[in-house]
Amino acid sequence: MQPNRLLKFACPLREQGCSRRFRSQAGRTYHIRTYHTNHNIITPPHSPPSPGTPEPGLPPSPSQEEYIPHPDPPSPEPSLPSSSPECPAQPKKEYHPWLTGRPCDEEGKFLPEGTPPPPRSNPGPDDWDPFEDEVQFLTGDFLFRQEEMSAGNIDVLLDLWALSMAKHDDLGPFSSYEHMYATIDDIKLGDASWKSFTTCYAGELGPNAPSWQLEDYEVWFRDPDVVIRNMLDNPDFDGHVDYAPYIDLDKTGQRKWNEFMSGNFSWRHATDIYEADASTEGAMYCPIILGADKTTVSVATGHVEYHPLYLSTGFVHNTVRRAHRNAVVPIGFLAIPKSDRKYDNDPAFRKFKRQLYHTTLTTILKPLRPGMTKPVIRRCPDGHYRRIIYDLGGFIADYPEQVVLAGTVSGWCPKCTALPTDIDGPRGRRTQAFTEELLDVLDSKTLWDEYGIDDDILPFTHDFPRADIYEILTPDLLHQVIKGTFKDHLVAWVGEYLVLEHGEAQANEILDDIDRRIAAAPLFPNLRRFPHGRRFKQWTGDDSKALMKVYVSAIAGHIPAEMTTAISSFIDVCYIVRRADLDHTALKAFDAALAKFYVHRESFRTSGVRPKGFSLPRQHSLSHYRHLIEEFGAPGGVCSSITESRHITAVKKPWRRSNRYKALGQMLVTNQRLDKLAAARVNFVSRGMLDPKNSRPPGMAPGPVVGRENSGELEDEEEEQPTAGPPGTVRVAMVTGNVTLARTRIRQYPRSLDRLAVDIHQPRLPELARRFLFDQTNKDPEVTSDDVDLADCPTIEGKVSVFHSAVASFFAPSDECGLRGMRRERIRSCPLWRGKSPRRDCAFVVEDEDKPGMRGMNVARVQLFFSFVHNRKEYPCALVDWFTTMGRSRDSETGMWKVRPDIRQGRRLSSVIHLDSFLRGAHLLPIFGKKFLPINFDYSDSLDAFAGYYVNHFADHHSHEIIF
């Protein structure tokens, strides 16, 4: 393959396996600094082996005796015959002993261990079929997938291209948009054609039958077996999949839940499959995750609605599923029966819609049924063939859809039998077997009134082995927690309380002040600002998540302390369940926070906001979350936010690209072409013909490693078992906290320390810097710079470099962040931010690594980043103003630590400290109290205008985990 002429600058480290090329010298320089000289990439002393045959021993999980509010009946823990009572010394994964995902050949015969996978294809390195060359593929991919250009504009561009190239006796890559579309359609990879079937009302028709009984309903779908075959055969997923259920243990023997295959559900069902048919030993368990949700693509043209059905698999990692790297695929568009308004509440019409829904799901999923009892041979992302056994593993849906899926009555819980009038009271777990027993002995009215069962509905899971609709309904963070309990309940209740307590006029004044407090939050990386408070008409899930970060401090003082505590404890619940990894310690913290929320939310009942109590299905669903985490792993991997965001690429954008006339057919073709282009790109990349965008540095493979760097040494290194990766993959350790100065110094500052002190109006800078240098060079730990005279401190003669920021890198897998859970944030200290005012950020400074959380840290505000050289050694450091902690524990009302400026003898306590003592940035929120904020108050003054501050552990997930 000839290198792209536009990418003329090659990485100089080609001998290390890096084949990246760049358009400019600047791009190459940035790449080298980021990937090849990154201090946060540490080469391990050895590469641990890939997971092989599971070890026979598994320590039992620690017994859980903590209080769980209204717990679900316990589900059996996965267990293996124990070979050793001792906890493992290192973290490891115990893989399922029977369904191990063992490689086989195309006929299903198992291969000897270590056998390499067969080559995927034999085309030559220049075979771009069906495209002529790289330019033609990249042009088609750019115009259709990235730019989403209309057919007319494609023709205009190609005509201009042809006109320009005609001077050189050459032609453009395509002659017309029809030529481009036809070429894309000829791609064989990723092909899963759309089919349709028509259904109608099958009951008796009366003389005046309503229109809905006379219509035919068309359903479009893809063969789910073909979709899964394409998903399994996607080399882009290599290193991001689990070929067998497993139990994840940390170095103390404590179990963790993260990916879908780490849950009890996968382990239990894999065991059931083997016990029912021992010939499945060695097969790969493939749980199928479905998702369905109606979406509106246009309001202006009459609420055009579609009801897509999505399919994913549990063997891919949650990060892949959330990134939509073709791991969540639309496999159907369900019919949406409509009729005249007079039939909206017609029981017969509602019954027909529900029955049509389940019949449609059964028909679409029917091709999977044979593979649920006998393994089928499929090629996997690593190139090996495996014997695959399918299973219905989860269904992502919001509450209204869960009601339809479970065949329950609205207002009842689809997971348990608690009465809707006392939904947090006594209950039992719903199961398909229990429901069938009730159907045999009770009449329809009793089922409806006492158990919330609609006996007119037979859930589609009855047609598939091992499937239980009540079991496979997954937690829904978006609608149950983020938008449900927080936005629709708690935030709304605060407004209702203020009206009841103060009247509407004064309540509006208080709400305006709450908005001003929200707008006064200091700047912080990845923290969304609300310049006008929370006064926006339509909330998204991202709006709610952003508001959570600053809401508690804004309401404190305006509502009773118990209400503030209820909201704070609920946000703690929300942050815990949104983590990427949860262990027994996290689940215990979840139980405690949820119990605290249940206790303090009673203040909304006693105040008159909720006089009838809290029988709210979405809020009640929290009581099931511990069980669901143990079943399905981290809830973020099976949340409806995945299908909601998939609507954009699979439904809304394709609809906008259509001509609006019979748009569904055009949308299906668009989806099919997008899948083909994505599969073709993956194929070309895997064959080395195409340089991947945003590719990993050489030798890096997915899989987090936790450690901490201090002065160049990795301490408390903890490695997890590596996931399977391509041959030659080398594991790379990542540090959890490392702060480095910006790459370029600011040139307008003086280079002398004395002159710099005058320039920045910090006369004590030379003294503080000299005392800092004494502490750095002094070898007697019992003597500090405070014990000696300034004259005994070394002088700094070298040039000083000033920087306006430093970059903190740390491991934060629960946050939306960069490569393998690593996150980079910038801590700023500059005299003018965006031409308006100074910006001096705060940071956490580690003072005692042996003490946990805030007890081992302090907060400082950075006044200056600088460095100097002494005795040929460079010292990166910062001039900081200190805060001191208020109290020995977190504030009982807000759950946050409080700090105040440390003032000694009438002035701020300042010092110069080494950058190695920084952990990361800190976000402080003012303690507003009961006073109203001035109308013209500016957020840039927030860190200077108040006597005390909350240490905001809601700023992001990493802060929530380290500040306790």
Report pLDDT digits (tens) over 181-232. Answer: 999 999 999 999 999 999 998 888 888 888 898 899 999 999 999 999 999 9
- How many contiguous H segments (helices) and E segments (strands) does the chain have? 26, 35
Among the residue ranges 116-120, 546-550, 734-738, the one predicted with the least confidence is: 734-738
**Higher per-residue confidence, 948 vs 161:** 948
Residue 407 φ then ψ, to 5°: 65, 35
Of 579, 492, 487, 494, which Cα lies nearest the Cα of 541? 487
Q: Which class for 142: exposed (0-12), middle (13-18), buried (19 or more C-beta within 10 A)?
A: exposed
Strand bridging mode 284-292 / 705-710: unpaired
pLDDT in the model for residue 473: 97
Same domain (yes/no): 828, 769: yes
Residue 895 φ then ψ, to 5°: 75, 10
Report the C-alpha gap between 308 and 564 in whole angstroms: 40
End position of a domain, from candidates 653, 686, 719:
686
Considering the domain boundaries, does residue 596 fall inside one? yes
- In the numeric block, the tokens 């005012």 are attached to 837
For residues 157 and 176, the answer to whether their CB atoms sit within 8 Å is no
Tokens at 105, concatenated: 């050949």
Same domain (yes/no): 939, 874: yes
Number of domains the chain is built from? 4
∠ CA 186-190-195, nearest 5°, is: 85
Query: Coil, strand, or helix at residue 913?
Result: strand
Same domain (yes/no): 768, 832: yes
Is the pLDDT score of 54 beyond 80? no
Of 445, 452, 486, 425, which Cα lies nearest the Cα of 615? 425
pLDDT in the model for residue 120: 84
Same domain (yes/no): 902, 861: yes
How does residue 130 score in pLDDT terms, banded at 50, 70 and 90? very high
pLDDT in the model for residue 378: 97
pLDDT in the model for residue 813: 82
Q: What predicted TM-score, i.e. pTM, was given to this entire model?
A: 0.86
Report the C-alpha gap between 958 and 853 in whole angstroms: 12
Alpha carbons within 13 A on the beta-carbon side of 942: 26
Is the pLDDT score of 70 beyond 60? no
Is the pLDDT score of 538 beyond 70? no
Q: What average pLDDT does this structure show over 666-695?
A: 86
Strand bridging mode 41-42 / 842-846: unpaired
Is the pLDDT score of 638 beyond 60? yes
End position of a domain, from candidates 686, 716, 747:
686
Beta carbons within 10 angstroms of residue 437's beta carbon: 11
Same domain (yes/no): 849, 904: yes
Query: Coil, strand, or helix at residue 627?
Result: helix
Considering the domain boundaries, does residue 440 fall inside one? no
pLDDT in the model for residue 962: 92
Same domain (yes/no): 547, 614: yes
Distance in angstroms between the alpha carbons of the first and the last residue of the chain = 55
How does residue 794 score in pLDDT terms, banded at 50, 70 and 90? very high
Whole-Å CA distances, 42 to 38, 415, 709, 723, 724: 9, 46, 9, 19, 20
Q: Which class for 292: exposed (0-12), middle (13-18), buried (19 or more C-beta within 10 A)?
A: buried
Same domain (yes/no): 257, 149: no
Q: What average pLDDT does this structure show over 872-893?
A: 95
Considering the domain boundaries, does residue 662 fall inside one? yes
Same domain (yes/no): 825, 956: yes
What is the b/e burial string over 469-478, where b = at least 16 CB atoms within 10 angstroms of the residue's CB?
bbbbbbbbbb
Tell me: the pLDDT tens digits for 908-928?
999 999 999 999 999 999 999
- In the numeric block, the tokens 């069938």 are attached to 436
For residues 756 and 781, the answer to whether their CB atoms sit within 8 Å is no
Average pLDDT for the chain: 86
Considering the domain boundaries, does residue 681 fall inside one? yes
Range of 815's domain? Answer: 738-963
pLDDT in the model for residue 814: 85
Report the C-alpha gap between 948 and 651 in whole angstroms: 49
End position of a domain, from candidates 156, 180, 204:
180
Tell me: the pLDDT tens digits for 261-297?
999 999 999 999 999 999 999 999 999 999 999 999 8
pLDDT in the model for residue 710: 31
Considering the domain boundaries, does residue 357 fall inside one? yes
Same domain (yes/no): 276, 175: no
Considering the domain boundaries, does residue 430 fall inside one? no
Q: What average pLDDT does this structure show over 772-798?
A: 89
Instruction: Examine residue 130 and say whether the peptide bond preceding it is cis (omega within 30 degrees of 0).
Output: yes
Q: What average pLDDT does this structure show over 732-738?
A: 53
Tokens at 12, concatenated: 């100089």
Considering the domain boundaries, does residue 730 fall inside one? no
- In the numeric block, the tokens 């959330």 are attached to 322
Give the whole-number percent of the chain exceeding pLDDT 90.
69
Considering the domain boundaries, does residue 702 fall inside one? no
Is the pLDDT score of 903 beyond 80? yes
pLDDT in the model for residue 302: 55
Task: Please report the DSSP string for 863-905 in residue order.
Answer: EEEEEEEETTEEEEEEEEEEEEEESSS--TTTS-EEEEE-EET
Of 680, 826, 671, 803, which Cα lies nearest the Cα of 739? 826
Amino acid at position 100, single letter: T
Same domain (yes/no): 250, 140: no
How does residue 701 score in pLDDT terms, banded at 50, 70 and 90? very low
pLDDT in the model for residue 44: 33
Whole-Å CA distances, 93 to 51, 265, 441, 680: 8, 16, 46, 34
Tell me: the pLDDT tens digits for 841-867?
999 999 888 888 999 999 999 999 999
Same domain (yes/no): 853, 743: yes
Is the pLDDT score of 693 beyond 70? no
Same domain (yes/no): 262, 376: yes
Q: What average pLDDT does this structure show over 403-413?
A: 96
